[in-house]
Amino acid sequence: MESLLQQELRQTRPFGSLEHEASLSIERTAAVLRHELAETLKSLGVTPAQYNVLRILRGAGGAGLCRHEIGDRLVAQVPDVTRLLDRMEEAGLVTRERSAEDRRLVRTRITETGLQLLARADEPLAALHARQLAALTPEQLRSLIDLLVLARHRG
């Protein structure tokens, strides 16, 4: 019997394994959710990667973070964190300051403009997430989270 994923992908042959189907289903779901997120953030003038950095820096507080610390915390890795931060600094969303003690150390902090953007994004994103996952009960959401952790960490 043809699976729903096969129908969505217009795939006529069966998947090679359950693992293959599950992997593609995760990718397909992530792509759908990511597209809706990008569309919501576009109205605020930021990309998902920029939003992710702002979210990380809001959580870091006034101390800010170094480039590599930001890169380590990103949900989706980006090829050039420095260039991403350059664009965000030009847009007034973050500031960077080189340490007087160690010139190699550059701290990035969120600006008031960045905080205001996040404040405007909080409600629409909460509504988006609720809409995206409305078909799942709280217990199913917990199970999904736990299963995805197992898949990422392989047990």
Phi-psi map region of 10: left, alpha, beta (phi>0 left; psi -120 to 50 alpha) = left
What parts of the chain have a pLDDT lower than 50? none
Q: What is the pLDDT of residue 12?
A: 80
CATH architecture for segment(s) 45-153: Orthogonal Bundle (1.10)
Interval 1-46: pLDDT, tens: 678 888 888 888 888 888 998 999 999 999 999 999 999 999 999 9
What is this structure's pTM? Answer: 0.86
Token couple for 18: 């359950």
Q: What is the pLDDT of residue 155?
A: 58
Q: What is the pLDDT of residue 30?
A: 94
Q: What is the pLDDT of residue 51?
A: 97
Q: What is the pLDDT of residue 110?
A: 97
Phi-psi map region of 71: left, alpha, beta (phi>0 left; psi -120 to 50 alpha) = alpha
Domain residue ranges in the chain: 1-42, 45-153
Q: What is the pLDDT of residue 118?
A: 97
